[in-house]
Structure 1
Amino acid sequence: MIFPYHPYLFGVRFPKNRIFHLPPLADTGMADKPSRALVLYGDGSARFVDPSHTHLHSLASKASCGFLSLPITPPSESEDERVVREFAVLLDAYEAYLDTSSGITKEEREKKSLIPISERFMGMKAAIFTNNSSLKSFGTKLGFSIFQIDGFLKNSPAGAEQPINFGASKLLKLLGFQEGKAVESSQYDLVFVHVAAAEVEYLNALVGAISQIDQPGSEVSSRLHLSVVLNYGKVSENDVTNLSVSIRKDDENSDLAKLIPRQSYTMKGENPRKDVRDHCPMLIAQWQYAVTRKDMAETFSFKDFKENGGNLVIPADRFLHEVAFKLWKAPKYGA
């Protein structure tokens, strides 16, 4: 099928001045078995990706790319608070993180809001790898198994493969992938790896090691749903204009500006979201062989995702629901 450019055709923003050839619909739906998900989360890494990070760019070139919008940053937020808050949004657990609301104490709110992930998503078994102590505590309250990255993923035993390859194999083994095969049962359905901004080189290498195993057409590629999510960390005033995803702002001088509908990421149900941050979204690339649809993006960058990405923007608190759908643990969100 061939379609001329239209920025909102089927909810997908296609690149301007190009004819876009849609791949067969059989390659864009659900797998015939539930997937298992690996999420590599580079906290603050979006600023530091450069041309040398070839594995990240290679993934983007075959993946479905877009943005996850975040709420407005609270004033006087510490860096440790930001780390946990943004991760909480990604897990759709923002309310559980809030300190106070309508006079309710944090402890009272946690008792009401901290529902284990297995109860929210049909028995989902999930784990988080992180070196951040605050994130470990928060993840435990949400029912995640917690692992320290150092020692588990980075140090291979004597005589074993290289540490980065060893770590990739260990992660995939937790998801039921061994020696290129998918076993029937797995220890976890979903694994997050939280990597600090200073470790973007490690993140790039880990993507490369996983890609070597996750070859198109293999048992791993048909069952592994891989997401790489990068955020910008602490934002500044300069980021407001340089890294904005607002289509209205881009097209405000256009004669058709008044006809552009409100973008769905700014809505929650029928009501506008009041705390949407239009700048510095999370960048996301997702890939699963014969399931996700490749778009026109070729590099893991804000500019390329905005101009050529197929997913445009969804609220970050919908991310986990989308992934859970691929695992057969939640109904479909959106179209």
Structure 2
Amino acid sequence: MADKPSRALVVYGDGLARFVDPSHTHLHSLASKASCGFLSLPNAPLSESEDERIVREFALLLDSWEAYLNWKGDTTNDECQNKSLIPTISESFMGMKAAVITNNSSLESFGTKLGFTVLESKDFTKNAENSFMASELLKLLGFQEGKTLDISQFDLVFVHIGPGEKEDKTVANALEYVNSLVGEILNLAEPGSDVGSRLHFSVVMSYGSVSEDDDCLKTSVLISETEKDANLSSLFPRQSYTMRGENQRKDVRHYCPMLIAQWQYAVTRKDTAETFSFEDFKEYGGNLIIPADRFLHEVAFKLWKAPKYGA
């Protein structure tokens, strides 16, 4: 744990996980330094639109399910009967100041409901160089010219990037944009620097919409029967990501989890993953699997905005 509160940057590659390949060297470089693992999701509702999926999965990352139901207009659900009881991000996490950067109008609407400051991606991409974007993102968090200011505009900045977020609307270019941005962030937050010691950097990649014949159905995080010790099979406990407190979660999707790598110099643990891939994370990742709705609680702890996660 750092001796001062961290400031967090989350780069969220929405629907891009399946397209990461060996050419995305900056993502693999991050994975080799970071603590890597998975965020499990529930099954998608039937007939869900793409915008609903985008907002639903973002809401899960923020542990804001009631706010999502309210945004969707599901006012018959008991969880969102009283709109005034739905907390903002600041109310949930000890006054945390947060921004989300996106060009998705539905996500903008939802972020506003939760008290995020909503910024449009195009305002950060006027300069074609990703070094400009990286520098501007760090300025929002109070990092300027390699120094950490005492006061920052935000404690947390979420950058949402998916197919259609850039003008060319292609997956390949969106992913290359993420890869390049990660490289610039790592360059500015080099180990031992003022920025590196205070920046808690997360990269989250999701698989997006999943169908029954999807190749990513092979990406199961379940421990198979062949991986269990037969002599201990009767004692094998439920995996913790399937539980919420003492109760078993009713709806857990065991395949196509979000991939996550987190790094902060001298704060996060380093595992033995070498590439940003499902296979490497499953075999060598140190973070294993946590439910997506616990993600922000863990990040907020590093910002001194939440009690210790998992204690």
Given the two structures, how large is their TM-score scaled by the length of structure 1? 0.85
Match of 1:87 in 2: 58
Mapping of residues 189-200 of structure 1, within 5 Å: 189-197=155-163, 198=171, 199-200=174-175
| Residue pair 1:239, 1:280 contacting (<8 A) in 2 also | no
AA paired with 2:289? V
Q: Take 1:264 and 1:106, find their aligned partners in 2: how far apart are those partners?
A: 24
Match of 1:174 in 2: 140
What secondary structure does 1:300 align onto? coil
> Structure 2 stretches of 5 or more lacking a match?
164-170
Matched, 1:37 2:8: yes
Matched, 1:227 2:219: no
AA paired with 1:284? I
Q: Take 2:209 and 2:81, find their aligned partners in 1: how far apart are those partners?
A: 29
TM-superposed deviation, 1:96 = 1.8
What secondary structure does 2:13 align onto? strand
| Residue pair 2:17, 2:207 contacting (<8 A) in 1 also | yes
Q: Take 1:245 and 1:111, find their aligned partners in 2: how far apart are those partners?
A: 38
- Quick one: which of 50, 55, 64 aligns to 2:35? 64
TM-superposed deviation, 1:240 = 6.7
TM-superposed deviation, 1:95 = 2.2
> Structure 1 stretches of 5 or more lacking a match?
1-29, 157-161
TM-superposed deviation, 1:112 = 3.2
TM-superposed deviation, 1:106 = 9.3
AA paired with 1:171? L
1:96-119 Cα deviation digits (max 9, x unpaired): 212577934897454432x11111
Matched, 1:126 2:98: yes
Of residues 94-103 and 70-79 in structure 1, the stretch that sits farther from structure 2 once superposed is 94-103
| Residue pair 1:153, 1:163 contacting (<8 A) in 2 also | no
Match of 2:291 in 1: 315
AA paired with 1:143? G
Match of 2:272 in 1: 296
| Residue pair 2:18, 2:216 contacting (<8 A) in 1 also | no
What secondary structure does 2:55 align onto? helix
User: Do the aligned partners of residues 102 and 210 (structure 1) sit closer, same or farther apart at CA in structure 2, a change above 3 Å counting?
Assistant: closer
TM-superposed deviation, 1:201 = 0.7
| Residue pair 1:72, 1:276 contacting (<8 A) in 2 also | yes
Which runs of at least 4 in structure 1 moved beyond 6 Å after TM superposition?
Answer: none
User: Do the aligned partners of residues 213 and 327 (structure 1) sit closer, same or farther apart at CA in structure 2, a change above 3 Å counting?
Assistant: same
Q: Take 1:110 and 1:240, find their aligned partners in 2: how far apart are those partners?
A: 37
Q: Take 1:222 and 1:110, find their aligned partners in 2: how far apart are those partners?
A: 39
- Quick one: which of 187, 191, 198 aligns to 2:153? 187
AA paired with 1:168? A
Match of 2:110 in 1: 138
Q: Take 2:58 and 2:181, find their aligned partners in 1: how far apart are those partners?
A: 20
| Residue pair 1:239, 1:279 contacting (<8 A) in 2 also | no
Match of 1:55 in 2: 26
